[in-house]
Structure 1
Amino acid sequence: MKNLAGVQFLDKMESFSVHSLLLALFLLCDLRISFSQQGFCSAPSILESQPLYWKATNPTLSPAYLQELPGFTRSVYEKDHALITPESHVFSPLPDWINTLGAYLIAPPMGSHFVMYLAKMQDNSKSGLPPSDVERFLFVLQGVVTLSEMSGIDYKLEVDSYAYLPPNLEHSLKSDNSATLVVFERRYAYLENHLSELIVGSTDKQPILETPGEVFELRKLLPTSLAYDFNIHIMDFQPGEFLNVKEVHYNQHGLLILEGQGIYRLGNNWFPVEAGDAIWMAPFVPQWYGALGKTRSRYLLYKDVNRNPLL
């Protein structure tokens, strides 16, 4: 009887120990969920909300199973297109800017007639001016900047805000804290009796335009009048939506994916892309996009317009 009682006692103790261990592991995991964003027990809270375009400035550099592979990059450069992904960005001080680092993603040496770059402004930073006769467009991805023009008017630009600066307009951009901009610049193609003007706005103030035969949502950030030799489009795709037209045209494109992920066709190549990726498309390269994933896909697109390609 004593041996049986002892066995029963040990069984109860073993059961108690297992239950205690499971309870302790549950509590530990619960604490780690509360205080950690990584690890086996961790999980992000469904109540957390991230700032708009946070993934474009904090992208996934590469799939987890390839992060330790030396030399790995998704970036590709061909004669008529390029995919520039975040792990291959190279930042250096921007000429004539103060406390600002820049990474040129698209530039004439690759075949473009415009530049597209990221500008990371630090504490007490200030922009320089573009070269003579060069127009500038900027879009705020992160932080807040103040745009000042010579008339004395200041504009506060937050995330999703933008500004177009016509050529030779005296202006400055300042930031007291960190801010990230995507900037487009090109030499202005003057047209007789037409002059572009300063424009300041935000995406959410622009109407959704009709896109016959297409399902995506389109906003244009600049006027379509002849004074402007390029435009900036914001294009939204819900998961599973795609371009109906398979585009081949003379216009050049510079593109930055702001949200989501999908598949981009460039020439005969098909690229998985995500927020933070930049794309250059030369004239007449076949191009197409389809959105994947579970969330909206949004990208910002440069397109030259309103000029005769012979000029």
Structure 2
Amino acid sequence: MHRDMRENGSKLQSLHLLCGIILLHLRSCLGKADGLEGISWDYAAVLSQGRDDGVSFSELPGFTRSTYERDHALITPESRVWAGQPGWKSALTAHVISPTAATGANFVMLLAKLDNGGSAGQPPKGVERFVFVLDGTLNVTVPSAKADKVLHADDYAFIPADSQHVLSSDNGAGLLLFERKCVVSGGMPKFQSGSVADKPILPVEGEVFLLRKLLPQTVDYDFNIHVMDFQPGQYLNVKEVHYNQHGLLLVQGQGIYRLADRWYPVQSGDAIWMAPYVLQWYGALGNTPSRYVLFKDTTLDPGLY
């Protein structure tokens, strides 16, 4: 009897998944992702208290969508652990990806909340840093680059390894950060800053999503940050399998993310780690456009990993 129930449950899950894929196919748009340009993106849900509560199942204590597998991980907001870090002042951080995990990630991905007057500590020696502002205002000072910037939501900055700098906020800020030990094969990278809206939309053959790359595509930079936008019903055409690692934060929208042979419902605030060669695919659902910010280690010889 229990076996029959399991088999019936598996068939029902497969039927739901098939229906979702058919819906995506019917609603997908051909050609350019019309209507995504000029959207006012809202990342409020990423760090909201409501997201920390996750899906409300009071009768199911311990329920979470988070999972940790050999070649991927999904970390949902209710699983974040916020804590102070050495060198950080009036701030809390939640690390969601790091090389200390058994997965073998080659970068760090964390969220940070700076209170009024809060500031970030320095990364370890030899580590480069990328910061993306989710909300609030961030002051960025890098004396070696003669840079003194004020960043707002959708703005970003890249700080080369061993560059003394100050990240602070007068009135509070929510941040997404990526850190990685610099292993560039070309010259040394330089300080970069800008805004997502100012980056050009790049052509992607066979795809309908909108793609922006926030860092120069040269050997001076050993990773890049992609911003990818989807209308509801649109999906990745390519079912990707490649040697690059990814760290992803869904900052708006919801959908289905396939990782290996698992199909995960995801929503804004969810973080994902993807190992080399794990099968990956995304389909956007719901009533609002999807946007995610994606780390990708690039320009490195695959044989040197």
Matched-pair contact (CA < 8 Å) for 1:264–1:272 = yes
Which residue of 65, 79, 89 corresponds with 2:70? 79
Q: Give the Cα separation in 2 of the matches to 1:257 and 1:53.
A: 9
Unaligned runs of 5+ in 1: 1-49
Partner AA of 1:306 in structure 2: T
Q: Counterparts of 2:268 and 2:303 in 1: how far apart (Å)? A: 35
1:232-288 Cα shifts (integer Å, max 9, x gaps): 000000010000000000000000001000000001000000000000000000000
Superposition map of 1:18-167 within 5 A: 52-58=42-48, 60=51, 61-64=53-56, 66-110=57-101, 111-151=104-144, 153-167=147-161
2:174 is the counterpart of 1:183: no
Distance 1:150 1:54 in 2: 32
Distance 2:55 2:301 in 1: 43
Instruction: Name stretches of at least 5 consecutive residues in structure 2 with no aligned partner.
Output: 1-39
* Distance in 2, Cα, partners of 1:176 & 1:249: 42
Q: Secondary structure at the match of 2:197?
A: helix
Question: TM-score, normalized by length of structure 2?
Answer: 0.83
* Partner AA of 1:213 in structure 2: G
Pairing partner for 1:281 from 266, 271, 274: 274
Identity of aligned residues (%): 53
For 1:197-236, list aligned pairs within 5 A.
197-236=190-229
**Do the aligned residues in 2 keep the contact of 1:52 with 1:159 (CA within 8 Å)?**
no
Q: Give 1:266's aligned residue.
A: 259
- The 1-side partners of 2:41 and 2:198 are apart by 18
What is the alpha-carbon root mean square deviation over aligned residues?
A: 1.4
Higher relative contact order (CA 8 A, sep 6+): 2
| Partners of 1:81 and 1:125 in 2: CA distance | 33
Q: Check conservation: 2:246, 2:294, Cα contact below 8 A.
A: yes
Q: TM-score, normalised by structure 1?
A: 0.81
Whether the 8 Å contact between 1:100 and 1:125 is mirrored in structure 2 is: yes
1:136-193 C-alpha deviation (Å, 9 max, x unpaired): 000001110100111554100100000000111111111112211010000000325x
Q: Distance in 1 between matches of 2:150 and 2:59?
A: 41
Which is higher, the Rg of structure 1 or of structure 2? 1
Q: Give yes or no for contact 1:206–1:219 (8 Å, CA) kept in 2.
A: yes
Give the number of aligned pairs.
260
Partner residue, 1:195? 188
Change (3 A) 1:214 1:92: same
Q: Answer yes or no: is 1:174 the counterpart of 2:171.
A: no
